[in-house]
Amino acid sequence: MRSNNTSFLKVLNEKLLTVYSSWVYPKDSFLVESFNEKLEAFRGNGLMEFLKLEYVDPKYLAVKETKNGPKKLNLEELRGGFGLWMIGNIITVLLFLLEVSYFSLRFSLMNN
């Protein structure tokens, strides 16, 4: 039995919210100016800041820069990528051989 505040399936404790959005208008559209005015009004009355503080985790806003520069990779760290690449190549070759054999068999049956 579930209570009023719970659901049957709980996946995460955190709220999920994607903050990326964009609007594309044609060049010299009459909507651009009114849309920019609305955004400035939201920013002016603090709505944008409120939404950012309410729904966006601050640890995602601050990006830490690395001090050491890029890390050198060795073959142990690339083993998974190479493994997937090899599996893909093997599947490709097997499908190619299957296709060649299928069409050669079909061609030979049509000529008989």
Q: Domain check: are 48 and 79 in the same one? A: no
Q: At what angle do helices 30-44 and 47-55 cross, to 10 degrees?
A: 70
Question: What's the rounded Cα separation, in Å, for the pair 56 and 17?
Answer: 8
CA 68 to chain centre: 28
Per-residue pLDDT tens over the stretch 11-36: 666 655 555 667 788 888 888 888 88
Q: What are the residue ranges of helices labelled H in the chain? A: 30-44, 47-55, 58-61, 79-111
Question: What's the rounded Cα separation, in Å, for the pair 81 and 75?
Answer: 10
Q: Domain check: are 59 and 23 in the same one? A: yes
Q: Domain check: are 60 and 98 in the same one? A: no
Among the candidates 24, 40, 64, a domain finishes at 64
Q: Domain check: are 77 and 110 in the same one? A: yes
Structural domain boundaries, residue 104: 73-112
Q: Domain check: are 47 and 79 in the same one? A: no
Q: Domain check: are 81 and 39 in the same one? A: no
Question: What's the rounded Cα separation, in Å, for the pair 4 and 111?
Answer: 72
Q: Domain check: are 59 and 79 in the same one? A: no
Return the pLDDT at 65: 72
Q: Domain check: are 110 and 77 in the same one? A: yes
CA 107 to chain centre: 44
- Tally of domains within the chain: 2
pTM score of the predicted model: 0.36
Per-residue pLDDT tens over the stretch 61-112: 676 776 777 778 788 888 888 999 999 999 999 999 999 999 998 888 888 6
